[in-house]
Amino acid sequence: MSLSTEHSQWAEFGSIFSGIYSPLIALVALLILAIQLLIQRSMSKHQHDQAFVDSARKDINFYISKLENCLEKEYEDGKSLKDYIDTHFRFLDVEALSSKGVIAHIQSFNKEHQYIFDLWLALYPILKGLEASKSYPYEHNFHAAKLRISSCLSFGTCVAIDNIYYVISRNYNNGKYYYMEINGVDDNKD
């Protein structure tokens, strides 16, 4: 068997070769594009998730800082607002929080210090956004954010402010009270 010198035979051989291998090469190129698209979507989702978590961290740190500054202010008898809140609002159960005297006390305190409630209220949508997804990085950062808040402000202060939040928002909030639940008070229904 020798190599042909006829151009027509070489043309036929080239046609056969391109007819077999061109679709295979096109299929491989299509598979590569599909894989590249999947990788790009995955990276885009990861970047979106990371941007959301970074924004949530930044916002949480901002509100914690503002709350710390507010709670350090002197209130009465040389005590800070933090001490006052811990003393008066921390160890209240649902029954106590439903009494008219406590409700009046909390409402009076809230009128004088509305900014504490407003700052606390600003943390909740961030926490709910992180809690909404049970996947990484959301769930991890939700728990880390709760720990960060209670570490910076103290767990007792978080419970006390959540108790204030419960009384002030009980007529229109049907969601979670993150620190009351931990304290054994999970009364999300009226």
Q: pLDDT at position 170, please?
A: 79
Examine residue 13 and state whether it is found in any structural domain, yes or no.
Answer: no
All residues at 6 or more sequence positions from 95 whose CB lies less than 8 Å from its CB, including other chains = none
Q: Would the CA dihedral through 14, 15, 17, 18 be positive or negative?
A: positive
Question: Confidence band (pLDDT; 50, 70, 90) for 78?
Answer: confident
- Is it the case that residue 190 has pLDDT exceeding 50? no
Examine residue 19 and state whether it is found in any structural domain, yes or no.
Answer: no
Report whether 107 contacts 89 (CB < 8 A): no
Give the closest residue to 85 by CA, choosing from 176, 153, 16, 2.
153
Examine residue 127 and state whether it is found in any structural domain, yes or no.
Answer: yes
Q: Mean pLDDT over residues 163-177, rounded?
A: 82
Q: pLDDT at position 4, please?
A: 76
Examine residue 170 and state whether it is found in any structural domain, yes or no.
Answer: yes
Report whether 115 contacts 70 (CB < 8 A): yes
132 burial type by CB count under 10 A (0-12 exposed, 13-18 middle, 19+ buried): exposed
Question: Confidence band (pLDDT; 50, 70, 90) for 188?
Answer: very low
How many other β-carbons are positioned within 10 Å of the β-carbon of residue 89? 24
Q: pLDDT at position 6, please?
A: 83
* Domain count along the chain: 1
The percent of residues in the chain predicted with pLDDT above 70, rounded, is 93
Report whether 148 contacts 64 (CB < 8 A): yes
- Is it the case that residue 31 has pLDDT exceeding 50? yes
- Is it the case that residue 21 has pLDDT exceeding 60? yes
Structural domain of 170: 49-182
Examine residue 24 and state whether it is found in any structural domain, yes or no.
Answer: no
Total count of residues recorded for the chain: 190
Examine residue 31 and state whether it is found in any structural domain, yes or no.
Answer: no
- Is it the case that residue 1 has pLDDT exceeding 80? no
